[in-house]
Protein backbone atom coordinates (compact mmCIF):
# COMPACT_ATOMS: atom_id res chain seq x y z
CA UNK A 1 0.00 0.00 0.00
CA UNK A 2 1.54 3.30 -1.03
CA UNK A 3 0.00 6.44 0.43
CA UNK A 4 -0.11 10.03 -0.79
CA UNK A 5 1.34 12.48 1.72
CA UNK A 6 -1.22 15.22 1.29
CA UNK A 7 -4.08 12.80 0.97
CA UNK A 8 -2.93 10.98 4.08
CA UNK A 9 -2.78 14.26 5.97
CA UNK A 10 -6.35 14.98 4.91
CA UNK A 11 -7.47 11.53 6.01
CA UNK A 12 -5.60 11.83 9.29
CA UNK A 13 -7.40 15.10 10.00
CA UNK A 14 -10.73 13.42 9.30
CA UNK A 15 -9.68 10.39 11.33
CA UNK A 16 -8.61 12.58 14.24
CA UNK A 17 -11.93 14.43 14.18
CA UNK A 18 -13.85 11.15 14.21
CA UNK A 19 -11.60 9.70 16.88
CA UNK A 20 -12.34 12.62 19.18
CA UNK A 21 -16.04 12.07 18.57
CA UNK A 22 -15.70 8.37 19.34
CA UNK A 23 -13.69 8.93 22.48
CA UNK A 24 -16.09 11.54 23.83
CA UNK A 25 -18.97 9.12 23.39
CA UNK A 26 -17.22 6.43 25.38
CA UNK A 27 -15.73 4.36 22.59
CA UNK A 28 -12.02 3.80 23.18
CA UNK A 29 -9.12 2.59 21.07
CA UNK A 30 -6.55 -0.11 21.72
CA UNK A 31 -3.33 1.76 22.26
CA UNK A 32 -0.95 -0.11 24.55
CA UNK A 33 -0.47 2.14 27.55
CA UNK A 34 1.76 0.08 29.79
CA UNK A 35 -1.05 -0.82 32.18
CA UNK A 36 -0.53 -3.93 34.25
CA UNK A 37 -3.22 -6.48 34.86
CA UNK A 38 -3.60 -9.86 36.45
CA UNK A 39 -3.78 -12.81 34.08
CA UNK A 40 -3.55 -13.12 30.33
CA UNK A 41 -5.98 -13.94 27.59
CA UNK A 42 -6.03 -14.86 23.95
CA UNK A 43 -6.69 -12.36 21.21
CA UNK A 44 -10.27 -11.47 20.42
CA UNK A 45 -11.78 -11.18 16.95
CA UNK A 46 -14.03 -8.43 18.24
CA UNK A 47 -13.50 -4.85 17.28
CA UNK A 48 -14.55 -3.90 20.81
CA UNK A 49 -13.79 -5.90 23.97
CA UNK A 50 -15.51 -5.80 27.33
CA UNK A 51 -12.84 -3.63 28.97
CA UNK A 52 -10.62 -1.73 26.57
CA UNK A 53 -10.95 -2.54 22.87
CA UNK A 54 -8.29 -4.78 21.42
CA UNK A 55 -8.85 -3.26 17.99
CA UNK A 56 -9.67 0.07 16.42
CA UNK A 57 -13.43 0.09 16.03
CA UNK A 58 -14.05 1.81 12.73
CA UNK A 59 -12.61 -0.08 9.79
CA UNK A 60 -11.96 3.10 7.86
CA UNK A 61 -10.07 4.62 10.76
CA UNK A 62 -8.13 1.41 11.29
CA UNK A 63 -6.84 1.48 7.75
CA UNK A 64 -6.27 5.21 7.51
CA UNK A 65 -4.34 5.37 10.75
CA UNK A 66 -2.03 2.73 9.32
CA UNK A 67 -1.96 4.18 5.81
CA UNK A 68 1.43 5.80 6.12
CA UNK A 69 3.45 6.12 2.98
CA UNK A 70 5.98 3.51 2.03
CA UNK A 71 8.46 6.31 1.65
CA UNK A 72 11.23 7.32 3.98
CA UNK A 73 9.62 9.74 6.45
CA UNK A 74 12.84 11.53 7.36
CA UNK A 75 14.03 12.88 4.02
CA UNK A 76 13.86 16.43 5.36
CA UNK A 77 16.29 15.60 8.17
CA UNK A 78 19.51 14.30 6.66
CA UNK A 79 21.07 13.86 10.11
CA UNK A 80 18.94 10.74 10.41
CA UNK A 81 20.97 8.13 8.57
CA UNK A 82 19.46 4.90 7.31
CA UNK A 83 21.15 1.70 8.44
CA UNK A 84 22.13 1.00 4.84
CA UNK A 85 24.39 4.07 4.91
CA UNK A 86 26.53 2.56 7.65
CA UNK A 87 27.16 -0.40 5.32
CA UNK A 88 28.41 1.66 2.36
CA UNK A 89 31.89 0.47 1.39
CA UNK A 90 31.76 -2.41 3.85
CA UNK A 91 31.87 -6.09 2.93
CA UNK A 92 28.44 -7.65 2.66
CA UNK A 93 28.69 -10.31 5.37
CA UNK A 94 25.83 -12.42 4.05
CA UNK A 95 26.75 -15.62 2.23
CA UNK A 96 26.12 -16.30 -1.45
CA UNK A 97 22.35 -16.82 -1.61
CA UNK A 98 22.21 -19.67 -4.17
CA UNK A 99 19.86 -21.43 -4.86
CA UNK A 100 17.92 -18.26 -3.94
CA UNK A 101 17.98 -15.94 -6.97
CA UNK A 102 18.12 -12.13 -6.85
CA UNK A 103 15.78 -10.92 -9.61
CA UNK A 104 17.15 -7.37 -9.68
CA UNK A 105 19.58 -6.41 -12.45
CA UNK A 106 21.00 -2.91 -12.84
CA UNK A 107 20.15 -1.71 -9.35
CA UNK A 108 21.01 1.97 -8.86
CA UNK A 109 22.39 4.11 -6.05
CA UNK A 110 20.03 6.50 -4.25
CA UNK A 111 21.00 10.08 -5.11
CA UNK A 112 19.38 12.03 -2.26
CA UNK A 113 17.64 11.68 1.09
CA UNK A 114 18.46 9.58 4.14
CA UNK A 115 19.37 6.60 1.92
CA UNK A 116 21.95 8.64 -0.01
CA UNK A 117 24.57 6.28 -1.42
CA UNK A 118 22.59 3.11 -0.71
CA UNK A 119 21.35 0.68 -3.32
CA UNK A 120 17.75 1.41 -4.26
CA UNK A 121 15.04 -0.74 -2.73
CA UNK A 122 12.61 -3.18 -4.31
CA UNK A 123 9.77 -4.57 -2.20
CA UNK A 124 6.14 -5.76 -2.23
CA UNK A 125 6.40 -8.63 -4.68
CA UNK A 126 4.00 -10.10 -7.22
CA UNK A 127 4.52 -12.97 -9.69
CA UNK A 128 2.49 -14.87 -12.30
CA UNK A 129 3.18 -17.85 -14.57
CA UNK A 130 2.19 -18.22 -18.21
CA UNK A 131 -0.52 -20.92 -18.40
CA UNK A 132 0.79 -21.89 -21.85
CA UNK A 133 4.50 -21.96 -20.93
CA UNK A 134 5.46 -22.69 -17.30
CA UNK A 135 9.03 -21.51 -17.98
CA UNK A 136 7.73 -17.98 -18.66
CA UNK A 137 7.05 -15.96 -15.53
CA UNK A 138 6.65 -12.24 -14.90
CA UNK A 139 7.20 -10.59 -11.52
CA UNK A 140 7.12 -7.06 -10.18
CA UNK A 141 7.72 -4.90 -7.11
CA UNK A 142 7.66 -1.39 -5.80
CA UNK A 143 10.92 -0.50 -7.57
CA UNK A 144 12.67 2.68 -6.42
CA UNK A 145 15.66 2.76 -8.80
CA UNK A 146 14.60 5.92 -10.73
CA UNK A 147 15.30 9.42 -9.36
CA UNK A 148 12.38 11.87 -9.40
CA UNK A 149 13.56 15.47 -9.83
CA UNK A 150 10.23 16.87 -8.61
CA UNK A 151 10.75 15.17 -5.26
CA UNK A 152 14.54 15.25 -5.14
CA UNK A 153 14.66 11.53 -4.32
CA UNK A 154 14.05 8.09 -5.76
CA UNK A 155 10.48 6.84 -6.03
CA UNK A 156 8.48 3.92 -7.39
CA UNK A 157 8.29 3.83 -11.17
CA UNK A 158 7.00 0.42 -12.29
CA UNK A 159 9.25 -2.45 -13.41
CA UNK A 160 8.61 -5.97 -14.67
CA UNK A 161 11.03 -8.90 -14.26
CA UNK A 162 10.66 -11.53 -16.96
CA UNK A 163 12.09 -15.03 -17.33
CA UNK A 164 11.79 -17.68 -20.04
CA UNK A 165 14.02 -20.27 -18.36
CA UNK A 166 11.92 -21.05 -15.32
CA UNK A 167 13.45 -18.39 -13.10
CA UNK A 168 17.16 -19.09 -13.54
CA UNK A 169 17.77 -15.68 -15.14
CA UNK A 170 15.67 -12.53 -15.24
CA UNK A 171 15.37 -9.50 -17.52
CA UNK A 172 14.26 -6.25 -15.85
CA UNK A 173 11.97 -4.12 -18.02
CA UNK A 174 10.71 -0.64 -17.14
CA UNK A 175 7.00 -0.06 -17.73
CA UNK A 176 6.69 2.97 -20.03
CA UNK A 177 5.26 6.33 -19.03
CA UNK A 178 3.55 5.51 -15.74
CA UNK A 179 5.01 8.43 -13.80
CA UNK A 180 6.62 11.85 -14.14
CA UNK A 181 10.14 10.42 -13.94
CA UNK A 182 9.42 7.84 -16.66
CA UNK A 183 8.07 10.37 -19.16
CA UNK A 184 4.33 10.21 -18.49
CA UNK A 185 2.19 12.69 -20.42
CA UNK A 186 -1.34 14.01 -20.03
CA UNK A 187 -3.14 13.10 -16.84
CA UNK A 188 -0.34 10.82 -15.66
CA UNK A 189 2.28 13.59 -15.87
CA UNK A 190 1.36 14.63 -12.30
CA UNK A 191 1.96 11.12 -10.95
CA UNK A 192 5.20 10.79 -8.97
CA UNK A 193 5.00 7.16 -7.92
CA UNK A 194 3.70 3.79 -9.08
CA UNK A 195 3.28 0.85 -6.75
CA UNK A 196 1.07 -1.86 -5.27
CA UNK A 197 2.12 -4.09 -8.19
CA UNK A 198 -0.19 -6.92 -9.26
CA UNK A 199 0.31 -9.23 -12.24
CA UNK A 200 -1.92 -11.81 -13.95
CA UNK A 201 -1.53 -13.83 -17.14
CA UNK A 202 -4.30 -14.35 -19.64
CA UNK A 203 -4.35 -16.51 -22.77
CA UNK A 204 -2.01 -16.01 -25.75
CA UNK A 205 1.06 -14.89 -23.76
CA UNK A 206 -0.80 -11.77 -22.60
CA UNK A 207 0.20 -10.26 -19.24
CA UNK A 208 -1.68 -7.61 -17.27
CA UNK A 209 0.28 -5.48 -14.80
CA UNK A 210 -1.75 -3.28 -12.42
CA UNK A 211 -0.40 -0.38 -10.38
CA UNK A 212 -1.68 2.48 -8.33
CA UNK A 213 -0.23 5.81 -9.40
CA UNK A 214 -0.32 9.03 -7.42
CA UNK A 215 1.13 12.48 -7.02
CA UNK A 216 3.36 13.27 -4.04
CA UNK A 217 2.77 17.00 -4.58
CA UNK A 218 -0.99 17.02 -5.15
CA UNK A 219 -4.05 14.90 -4.35
CA UNK A 220 -4.27 13.05 -7.66
CA UNK A 221 -4.14 9.28 -7.89
CA UNK A 222 -5.60 6.30 -9.65
CA UNK A 223 -5.30 2.80 -11.08
CA UNK A 224 -3.47 1.83 -14.28
CA UNK A 225 -2.92 -1.34 -16.30
CA UNK A 226 0.08 -2.06 -18.51
CA UNK A 227 -0.33 -4.89 -21.04
CA UNK A 228 2.27 -7.15 -22.67
CA UNK A 229 1.48 -9.52 -25.54
CA UNK A 230 4.81 -11.35 -25.57
CA UNK A 231 5.18 -12.77 -22.09
CA UNK A 232 6.50 -9.59 -20.49
CA UNK A 233 9.33 -8.64 -22.87
CA UNK A 234 7.71 -5.38 -24.00
CA UNK A 235 4.80 -3.33 -22.65
CA UNK A 236 2.24 -0.98 -24.13
CA UNK A 237 1.23 2.47 -22.96
CA UNK A 238 -0.60 2.48 -19.62
CA UNK A 239 -4.38 2.13 -19.66
CA UNK A 240 -6.18 4.29 -17.10
CA UNK A 241 -8.74 2.33 -15.11
CA UNK A 242 -9.60 5.15 -12.69
CA UNK A 243 -8.09 8.56 -12.00
CA UNK A 244 -9.13 11.24 -9.50
CA UNK A 245 -7.73 14.63 -8.53
CA UNK A 246 -6.24 15.54 -11.90
CA UNK A 247 -7.51 16.68 -15.30
CA UNK A 248 -6.56 15.25 -18.70
CA UNK A 249 -3.57 17.60 -18.94
CA UNK A 250 -2.18 16.69 -15.54
CA UNK A 251 -3.42 19.77 -13.68
CA UNK A 252 -4.44 19.09 -10.07
CA UNK A 253 -8.12 19.06 -9.12
CA UNK A 254 -9.79 18.75 -5.71
CA UNK A 255 -10.90 15.24 -4.79
CA UNK A 256 -12.33 13.40 -1.81
CA UNK A 257 -11.13 9.99 -2.98
CA UNK A 258 -7.96 7.93 -2.90
CA UNK A 259 -7.70 4.69 -4.90
CA UNK A 260 -5.59 2.06 -3.17
CA UNK A 261 -4.53 -1.59 -3.02
CA UNK A 262 -5.61 -2.82 -6.43
CA UNK A 263 -5.33 -6.35 -7.84
CA UNK A 264 -5.96 -7.90 -11.25
CA UNK A 265 -7.58 -11.18 -12.31
CA UNK A 266 -8.11 -12.62 -15.80
CA UNK A 267 -10.61 -15.10 -17.22
CA UNK A 268 -8.42 -18.03 -18.38
CA UNK A 269 -10.76 -18.79 -21.29
CA UNK A 270 -11.93 -15.44 -22.66
CA UNK A 271 -9.03 -13.26 -21.51
CA UNK A 272 -11.39 -10.74 -19.89
CA UNK A 273 -9.49 -8.78 -17.24
CA UNK A 274 -10.89 -7.37 -14.00
CA UNK A 275 -9.29 -4.94 -11.57
CA UNK A 276 -10.59 -4.47 -8.03
CA UNK A 277 -9.40 -1.90 -5.52
CA UNK A 278 -10.31 0.07 -2.40
CA UNK A 279 -11.88 3.46 -2.97
CA UNK A 280 -11.22 5.52 0.12
CA UNK A 281 -13.77 8.30 0.62
CA UNK A 282 -14.55 10.61 3.48
CA UNK A 283 -16.87 8.16 5.26
CA UNK A 284 -16.13 4.66 3.96
CA UNK A 285 -13.75 2.49 1.95
CA UNK A 286 -15.68 0.11 -0.31
CA UNK A 287 -14.20 -2.43 -2.68
CA UNK A 288 -14.96 -1.64 -6.32
CA UNK A 289 -14.24 -3.45 -9.58
CA UNK A 290 -13.82 -2.51 -13.25
CA UNK A 291 -13.89 -4.73 -16.34
CA UNK A 292 -11.81 -4.38 -19.51
CA UNK A 293 -13.37 -4.34 -22.96
CA UNK A 294 -11.12 -6.69 -24.94
CA UNK A 295 -11.91 -4.97 -28.24
CA UNK A 296 -11.22 -1.36 -27.24
CA UNK A 297 -8.94 -1.69 -24.22
CA UNK A 298 -11.31 0.61 -22.33
CA UNK A 299 -12.29 0.01 -18.73
CA UNK A 300 -15.87 0.10 -17.50
CA UNK A 301 -17.11 2.47 -14.79
CA UNK A 302 -16.47 0.78 -11.46
CA UNK A 303 -19.12 -1.23 -9.62
CA UNK A 304 -19.25 -1.49 -5.83
CA UNK A 305 -18.58 -5.01 -4.57
CA UNK A 306 -19.62 -4.59 -0.93
CA UNK A 307 -23.29 -5.25 -0.21
CA UNK A 308 -25.69 -2.59 1.00
CA UNK A 309 -25.24 -2.54 4.77
CA UNK A 310 -27.81 -4.21 7.01
CA UNK A 311 -27.43 -4.48 10.83
CA UNK A 312 -25.07 -7.33 11.67
CA UNK A 313 -23.77 -7.43 8.13
CA UNK A 314 -20.74 -6.58 6.04
CA UNK A 315 -19.80 -2.91 6.12
CA UNK A 316 -18.07 -0.84 3.46
CA UNK A 317 -14.99 -0.51 5.71
CA UNK A 318 -12.89 -2.80 3.55
CA UNK A 319 -9.38 -3.26 2.16
CA UNK A 320 -7.06 -5.77 0.49
CA UNK A 321 -9.18 -7.08 -2.41
CA UNK A 322 -7.99 -9.89 -4.69
CA UNK A 323 -10.00 -10.95 -7.79
CA UNK A 324 -9.86 -14.37 -9.44
CA UNK A 325 -11.91 -15.93 -12.24
CA UNK A 326 -13.22 -19.48 -11.98
CA UNK A 327 -13.35 -22.26 -14.56
CA UNK A 328 -16.80 -21.24 -15.75
CA UNK A 329 -16.23 -17.49 -15.90
CA UNK A 330 -17.53 -16.70 -12.44
CA UNK A 331 -15.75 -13.74 -10.81
CA UNK A 332 -14.66 -14.04 -7.18
CA UNK A 333 -13.18 -11.21 -5.10
CA UNK A 334 -11.69 -11.89 -1.67
CA UNK A 335 -11.19 -8.98 0.72
CA UNK A 336 -11.02 -8.04 4.39
CA UNK A 337 -13.91 -6.13 5.95
CA UNK A 338 -15.65 -5.34 9.21
CA UNK A 339 -18.90 -7.11 10.12
CA UNK A 340 -20.87 -4.90 12.51
CA UNK A 341 -24.23 -4.39 14.17
CA UNK A 342 -24.17 -0.75 13.08
CA UNK A 343 -21.90 1.52 11.09
CA UNK A 344 -20.40 2.70 14.38
CA UNK A 345 -18.85 -0.78 14.72
CA UNK A 346 -18.91 -0.47 18.51
CA UNK A 347 -20.60 -3.68 19.69
CA UNK A 348 -18.95 -6.73 21.33
CA UNK A 349 -19.96 -8.99 18.44
CA UNK A 350 -18.47 -6.74 15.77
CA UNK A 351 -15.46 -8.32 14.11
CA UNK A 352 -13.12 -8.37 11.14
CA UNK A 353 -13.63 -11.06 8.53
CA UNK A 354 -12.42 -12.45 5.23
CA UNK A 355 -15.20 -11.89 2.72
CA UNK A 356 -15.65 -13.51 -0.69
CA UNK A 357 -17.84 -11.81 -3.27
CA UNK A 358 -19.12 -13.85 -6.22
CA UNK A 359 -20.52 -12.65 -9.54
CA UNK A 360 -21.97 -14.84 -12.27
CA UNK A 361 -22.82 -11.97 -14.63
CA UNK A 362 -19.43 -10.49 -15.41
CA UNK A 363 -19.10 -8.30 -12.35
CA UNK A 364 -22.41 -6.44 -12.60
CA UNK A 365 -23.77 -7.76 -9.28
CA UNK A 366 -22.32 -9.73 -6.37
CA UNK A 367 -23.28 -11.97 -3.50
CA UNK A 368 -20.97 -11.63 -0.48
CA UNK A 369 -20.14 -14.45 1.94
CA UNK A 370 -18.17 -14.36 5.18
CA UNK A 371 -15.52 -17.05 4.67
CA UNK A 372 -13.82 -16.74 8.07
CA UNK A 373 -13.29 -14.45 11.04
CA UNK A 374 -9.84 -12.90 11.18
CA UNK A 375 -8.02 -11.25 14.05
CA UNK A 376 -6.05 -8.03 14.00
CA UNK A 377 -2.39 -7.76 14.85
CA UNK A 378 -1.75 -5.38 17.75
CA UNK A 379 -1.44 -1.67 17.12
CA UNK A 380 2.01 -0.24 17.85
CA UNK A 381 1.73 3.45 18.86
CA UNK A 382 5.44 4.02 18.24
CA UNK A 383 5.17 3.16 14.54
CA UNK A 384 1.51 4.14 14.09
CA UNK A 385 0.60 0.78 12.58
CA UNK A 386 0.26 -2.91 13.43
CA UNK A 387 3.57 -4.71 13.94
CA UNK A 388 5.02 -7.92 15.30
CA UNK A 389 6.66 -7.84 18.72
CA UNK A 390 10.11 -6.29 18.34
CA UNK A 391 9.68 -5.30 14.68
CA UNK A 392 9.19 -1.93 12.98
CA UNK A 393 7.59 -2.97 9.68
CA UNK A 394 3.82 -2.78 9.35
CA UNK A 395 1.73 -5.90 8.79
CA UNK A 396 -1.86 -6.74 7.86
CA UNK A 397 -4.34 -9.58 7.50
CA UNK A 398 -5.27 -9.03 3.86
CA UNK A 399 -6.05 -12.20 1.88
CA UNK A 400 -4.06 -13.85 -0.90
CA UNK A 401 -6.25 -15.85 -3.27
CA UNK A 402 -5.81 -18.67 -5.79
CA UNK A 403 -8.11 -20.89 -7.83
CA UNK A 404 -6.87 -24.29 -8.97
CA UNK A 405 -7.21 -24.08 -12.78
CA UNK A 406 -7.73 -27.84 -13.04
CA UNK A 407 -10.22 -28.50 -10.24
CA UNK A 408 -11.76 -25.05 -9.83
CA UNK A 409 -11.26 -25.16 -6.05
CA UNK A 410 -10.81 -21.84 -4.22
CA UNK A 411 -8.00 -21.20 -1.72
CA UNK A 412 -7.54 -18.08 0.42
CA UNK A 413 -4.72 -17.46 2.89
CA UNK A 414 -3.94 -14.73 5.41
CA UNK A 415 -2.10 -14.28 8.69
CA UNK A 416 -3.52 -13.04 11.98
CA UNK A 417 -2.71 -12.90 15.68
CA UNK A 418 -5.50 -15.02 17.20
CA UNK A 419 -2.85 -17.09 18.99
CA UNK A 420 -0.96 -14.07 20.32
CA UNK A 421 -0.66 -13.40 24.03
CA UNK A 422 -2.57 -10.45 25.51
CA UNK A 423 -3.08 -9.15 29.03
CA UNK A 424 -6.53 -8.81 30.55
CA UNK A 425 -6.80 -5.24 29.27
CA UNK A 426 -6.24 -6.37 25.70
CA UNK A 427 -2.65 -5.11 25.42
CA UNK A 428 -0.31 -7.30 23.40
CA UNK A 429 2.36 -9.15 25.38
CA UNK A 430 3.79 -11.16 22.49
CA UNK A 431 2.56 -11.74 18.97
CA UNK A 432 2.21 -15.20 17.44
CA UNK A 433 1.15 -14.61 13.88
CA UNK A 434 -0.10 -17.76 12.20
CA UNK A 435 -1.11 -18.55 8.64
CA UNK A 436 -4.62 -19.71 7.84
CA UNK A 437 -6.08 -21.25 4.70
CA UNK A 438 -9.79 -21.23 3.89
CA UNK A 439 -10.94 -23.38 1.00
CA UNK A 440 -14.21 -23.92 -0.85
CA UNK A 441 -15.55 -25.73 -3.88
CA UNK A 442 -18.22 -23.15 -4.67
CA UNK A 443 -17.44 -19.93 -2.76
CA UNK A 444 -20.30 -20.48 -0.33
CA UNK A 445 -19.09 -23.07 2.18
CA UNK A 446 -15.56 -22.80 3.60
CA UNK A 447 -13.22 -25.04 5.59
CA UNK A 448 -10.37 -23.58 7.66
CA UNK A 449 -6.81 -24.87 8.21
CA UNK A 450 -4.04 -23.44 10.39
CA UNK A 451 -0.37 -23.52 9.37
CA UNK A 452 2.86 -22.28 10.87
CA UNK A 453 5.06 -22.65 13.94
CA UNK A 454 5.20 -21.25 17.46
CA UNK A 455 7.05 -18.24 16.02
CA UNK A 456 5.49 -15.45 13.97
CA UNK A 457 4.47 -16.07 10.36
CA UNK A 458 3.19 -13.19 8.21
CA UNK A 459 2.47 -12.12 4.63
CA UNK A 460 1.44 -15.51 3.20
CA UNK A 461 0.76 -16.23 -0.46
CA UNK A 462 -0.86 -19.28 -2.06
CA UNK A 463 -0.79 -21.20 -5.35
CA UNK A 464 -2.60 -24.34 -6.50
CA UNK A 465 -2.56 -26.62 -9.53
CA UNK A 466 -4.21 -30.02 -10.00
CA UNK A 467 -4.82 -30.37 -6.22
CA UNK A 468 -1.18 -29.53 -5.40
CA UNK A 469 -1.07 -26.64 -2.93
CA UNK A 470 1.78 -24.39 -1.80
CA UNK A 471 1.56 -21.68 0.86
CA UNK A 472 4.59 -19.40 1.31
CA UNK A 473 5.28 -16.84 4.05
CA UNK A 474 7.81 -15.04 6.20
CA UNK A 475 8.74 -16.79 9.44
CA UNK A 476 10.82 -15.83 12.48
CA UNK A 477 11.28 -19.46 13.56
CA UNK A 478 14.90 -19.73 12.37
CA UNK A 479 16.23 -16.71 14.27
CA UNK A 480 17.25 -17.12 17.90
CA UNK A 481 16.72 -13.41 18.51
CA UNK A 482 13.28 -13.60 16.98
CA UNK A 483 13.52 -10.53 14.72
CA UNK A 484 15.31 -11.84 11.61
CA UNK A 485 13.16 -13.09 8.74
CA UNK A 486 13.26 -16.18 6.55
CA UNK A 487 10.91 -17.20 3.77
CA UNK A 488 9.37 -20.68 3.95
CA UNK A 489 6.56 -22.82 2.58
CA UNK A 490 4.08 -25.58 3.33
CA UNK A 491 3.10 -27.93 0.52
CA UNK A 492 0.34 -30.48 0.22
CA UNK A 493 -1.09 -32.95 -2.25
CA UNK A 494 -4.76 -32.58 -1.42
CA UNK A 495 -6.46 -30.78 1.45
CA UNK A 496 -6.01 -33.58 3.95
CA UNK A 497 -2.23 -33.14 3.85
CA UNK A 498 -2.14 -29.51 4.95
CA UNK A 499 -0.36 -29.96 8.27
CA UNK A 500 0.48 -27.42 10.92
CA UNK A 501 4.26 -27.14 11.60
CA UNK A 502 5.18 -28.95 8.35
CA UNK A 503 7.29 -25.96 7.27
CA UNK A 504 10.21 -26.03 4.81
CA UNK A 505 12.75 -23.21 4.73
CA UNK A 506 13.41 -21.49 1.39
CA UNK A 507 15.95 -18.82 2.29
CA UNK A 508 19.52 -20.01 2.77
CA UNK A 509 20.18 -17.46 5.51
CA UNK A 510 18.16 -15.34 7.92
CA UNK A 511 18.28 -11.63 7.07
CA UNK A 512 17.59 -8.46 9.03
CA UNK A 513 14.51 -6.50 7.88
CA UNK A 514 15.59 -3.44 9.88
CA UNK A 515 17.20 -1.72 6.91
CA UNK A 516 16.14 1.22 4.70
CA UNK A 517 12.86 3.16 5.08
CA UNK A 518 13.56 5.19 8.20
CA UNK A 519 11.02 6.61 10.64
CA UNK A 520 11.02 8.24 14.06
CA UNK A 521 9.08 6.62 16.88
CA UNK A 522 6.04 8.67 17.87
CA UNK A 523 6.40 7.52 21.49
CA UNK A 524 10.07 6.59 21.88
CA UNK A 525 11.52 9.30 19.65
CA UNK A 526 14.02 6.71 18.43
CA UNK A 527 15.14 6.26 14.83
CA UNK A 528 13.27 3.24 13.48
CA UNK A 529 14.88 1.26 10.66
CA UNK A 530 12.90 -0.85 8.22
CA UNK A 531 9.41 0.55 8.78
CA UNK A 532 8.29 -0.73 5.36
CA UNK A 533 9.11 -4.03 3.61
CA UNK A 534 6.03 -4.14 1.38
CA UNK A 535 2.50 -5.25 2.21
CA UNK A 536 2.56 -8.72 0.64
CA UNK A 537 4.63 -11.50 -0.93
CA UNK A 538 3.77 -13.87 -3.79
CA UNK A 539 4.01 -17.38 -5.22
CA UNK A 540 3.10 -18.91 -8.60
CA UNK A 541 2.78 -22.51 -9.81
CA UNK A 542 2.36 -23.70 -13.38
CA UNK A 543 1.54 -26.94 -15.16
CA UNK A 544 5.04 -28.29 -14.44
CA UNK A 545 4.19 -28.28 -10.69
CA UNK A 546 7.16 -26.05 -9.89
CA UNK A 547 6.50 -23.26 -7.41
CA UNK A 548 8.12 -19.85 -7.73
CA UNK A 549 7.99 -17.98 -4.42
CA UNK A 550 8.77 -14.28 -4.69
CA UNK A 551 9.64 -12.24 -1.61
CA UNK A 552 11.45 -9.13 -0.39
CA UNK A 553 14.88 -10.19 0.87
CA UNK A 554 17.28 -8.00 2.83
CA UNK A 555 20.67 -9.43 1.84
CA UNK A 556 21.06 -7.46 -1.38
CA UNK A 557 23.51 -9.18 -3.71
CA UNK A 558 26.46 -10.37 -1.58
CA UNK A 559 29.75 -9.69 -3.33
CA UNK A 560 28.24 -6.94 -5.48
CA UNK A 561 26.10 -4.66 -3.28
CA UNK A 562 25.54 -3.73 0.32
CA UNK A 563 22.55 -5.30 2.08
CA UNK A 564 19.32 -3.78 0.79
CA UNK A 565 15.77 -4.75 -0.11
CA UNK A 566 15.74 -6.88 -3.28
CA UNK A 567 13.20 -9.22 -4.87
CA UNK A 568 14.25 -12.87 -4.52
CA UNK A 569 12.87 -16.11 -5.91
CA UNK A 570 13.69 -19.81 -6.30
CA UNK A 571 12.25 -22.58 -8.47
CA UNK A 572 11.09 -25.47 -6.24
CA UNK A 573 9.61 -28.64 -7.79
CA UNK A 574 6.67 -30.10 -5.88
CA UNK A 575 6.75 -33.47 -7.66
Q: Tens digit of pLDDT for each residue in 221-273?
A: 999 999 999 999 999 999 999 999 999 999 999 999 999 999 999 999 999 99
CA 547, 485, 535, 388 torsion-angle sign: positive
Q: How far apart, in Å, are the Cα atoms of 51 and each of 44, 307, 423, 424?
A: 12, 31, 11, 8
Contact between 289 and 301 (Cβ < 8 Å): no
Total residues found in the chain within this entry: 575
d(CA 166, CA 487): 20
49-87 confidence digits (pLDDT tens): 332 233 333 333 333 333 334 555 444 454 566 788 888
Q: What is the mean pLDDT of each run of 10 residues along the chain (575 residues)?
A: 36 36 30 32 47 32 38 49 81 96 94 87 98 99 95 94 98 98 98 98 98 96 98 98 98 96 98 98 96 94 97 96 97 98 94 98 98 95 96 97 98 97 93 96 95 94 98 96 94 84 94 92 93 98 98 96 96 93
Confidence at residue 19, expressed as pLDDT on a 0 to 100 scale: 33
Q: How far apart, in Å, are the Cα atoms of 33 and each of 89, 379, 404?
A: 42, 11, 46
256-259 LR contacts (CB < 8 Å, sep 24+): 256/281, 256/282, 257/281, 258/3, 258/4, 258/7, 258/11, 258/214, 258/219, 258/221, 259/212, 259/221, 259/222, 259/223
173: closest CA among 238, 234, 251? 234
Confidence at residue 277, expressed as pLDDT on a 0 to 100 scale: 99
331-358 confidence digits (pLDDT tens): 999 999 999 999 999 999 999 999 999 9
Q: Please state the domain extents for the chain.
A: 5-573
Confidence at residue 79, expressed as pLDDT on a 0 to 100 scale: 53
Max Cα separation, the chain?
65
- The CATH number corresponding to 5-573 among 2.120.10.10, 2.60.40.1930, 1.10.1660.10, 2.40.10.120 equals 2.120.10.10
Amino acid sequence: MIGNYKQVRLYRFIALFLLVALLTTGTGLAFADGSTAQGTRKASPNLKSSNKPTHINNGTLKTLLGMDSDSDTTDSNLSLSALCQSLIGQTNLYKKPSPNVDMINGDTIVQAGTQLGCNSAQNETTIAVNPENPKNLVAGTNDYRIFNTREGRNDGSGWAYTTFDGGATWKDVQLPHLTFQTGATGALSDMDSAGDPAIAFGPDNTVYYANIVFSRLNAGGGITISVSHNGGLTWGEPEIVQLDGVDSAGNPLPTDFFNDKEWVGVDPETGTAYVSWTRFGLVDSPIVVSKRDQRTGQWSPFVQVNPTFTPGGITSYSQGSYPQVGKHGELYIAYESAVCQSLNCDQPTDHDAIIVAKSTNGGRTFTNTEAAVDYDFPYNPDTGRSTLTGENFRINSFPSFAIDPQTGRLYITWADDRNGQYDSFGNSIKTNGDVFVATSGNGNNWNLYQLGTSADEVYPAIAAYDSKIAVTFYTRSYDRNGTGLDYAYVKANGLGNLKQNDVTRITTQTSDPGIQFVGVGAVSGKILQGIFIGDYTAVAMGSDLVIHPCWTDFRGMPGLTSPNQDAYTQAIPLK
